[in-house]
Amino acid sequence: MDVAFGVGTFGDVTAGPDGPVPHAQVVRDVVEEAVLADGVGVDAFALGEHHRDDFAVTAPEVVLAAAAARTSRILLASGVTVLSSDDPVRVFERFSTLDAISDGRAEVQLGRGSFTESFPLFGFDLRDYEVLFTEKLDLFARLREGGPVTWSGTVRAPLTDQEVFPRLASAPLRTWVGVGGSPESVVRAARYGLPMMLAIIGGSPARFRPYVDLYRRALTELALPALPVGVHSPGHVGATDESAREEFFAGYRAMRDRIGRERGWSPLGREEFDDEIAHGSLYVGSAETVARKIAGTVRTLGVQRFDLKVSAGTLPHAAIMGSIERYGAVVVPLVRELLAEQPAAR
């Protein structure tokens, strides 16, 4: 399988000259980022869903629909849609509509969500965290095929020979399962015959190789064809290694420390930040530095998709645009050259 390259964002509230940029402007900026990614040859643009004040995007498919009207070739993806606190039928309807608007460029990445604000917001009990995702994924896997669906479970009303609209021009709907690193989640993605997107946001990417192997082994045992595996990781492409680190650090630290205070993490120090760039899952540096690190990850894990999350807390929109331009124009072609010289593991 060929390797595809995407960029992603959570629509982080960025820094402006007079303080935090208003949510409405952040949303408009995200659309501009998608347009630029399309223009510089990036394969996919992934937009995450959150329901808190440091992120502006709560409805990725709406923002992606705006981007669809101004782009021509790039895949438009969620990254991720929190299926556990949504209704699978409505999720399918929204993405089949996006698929129609974009002429077949819609992609949904489904996850349980590492943030839990959507559960009380929409009236779901966190004690049902596992059953909500398991049952809703089961229903969505049937819906994406595009035909009438019969289904029953405990988390919503049953369906009997139910059609859902708008119909897909070309079924099935492009769907991934986002996985944070539990073996159960890996096997579940394989069981439904869905590509797996690994969220690698800390530590060495190489430690995820057993999950890739488990996924492929599960597909073989289930007599299913080989399917893509992807990686989603944060990073920033600057003019030089030093400028990239300086641009990225303050916003990344602010985001990481805010989340860390909620989860009991210690504050991020510069030494830890630099170590994560050198040995972990931060892809920060010049175009050549980032390209070589991405190529190394693709080779080590044998993946078919790499998405660089280019937003990081208050990192300004202009810096994000510069990163996307360098990623599409320089990083991606260089990674392809490096992989041609030394292919990924099989």
DSSP secondary structure letters along 19-53 = EEPPHHHHHHHHHHHHHHHHHTT-SEEEE----ST
Residue-level length of the chain: 346
Q: State the residue range of the domain holding 128.
A: 4-341
Long-range contacts of 158-164 (CB under 8 A, 24+ apart): 159/89, 164/89, 164/92, 164/93, 164/96
- Can you tell me the mean pLDDT for 216-236? 98
In a domain, 82, yes or no: yes
- Can you tell me the mean pLDDT for 9-24? 96
- Can you tell me the mean pLDDT for 21-33? 98
pTM: 0.97
In a domain, 47, yes or no: yes
Total count of domains within the chain = 1
Query: Mind listing the pLDDT tens digit for each residue in 227-250?
Result: 999 999 999 999 999 999 999 999
pLDDT score recorded for residue 342: 87
In a domain, 48, yes or no: yes
pLDDT score recorded for residue 200: 97
Q: Is the pLDDT of residue 343 over 80?
A: no
3-state secondary structure of 257: helix
In a domain, 172, yes or no: yes
pLDDT score recorded for residue 181: 81
CATH number for 141: 3.20.20.30
In a domain, 199, yes or no: yes
Query: Mind listing the pLDDT tens digit for each residue in 303-335?
Result: 999 999 999 999 999 999 999 999 999 999 999
Cα-based angle 278, 176, 160 (whole degrees, multiple of 5): 160
CA-to-CA dists, residue 298 to 306, 326, 333, angstroms:
8, 19, 14
pLDDT score recorded for residue 346: 58
Q: 314 with 14: CB under 8 angstroms?
A: yes
Q: How far is it, in rounded angstroms, from Cα 130 to Cα 127?
A: 8
The closest alpha carbon to 206, from 261, 281, 274, belongs to 281
In a domain, 346, yes or no: no
Q: How far is it, in rounded angstroms, from Cα 207 to Cα 278?
A: 15
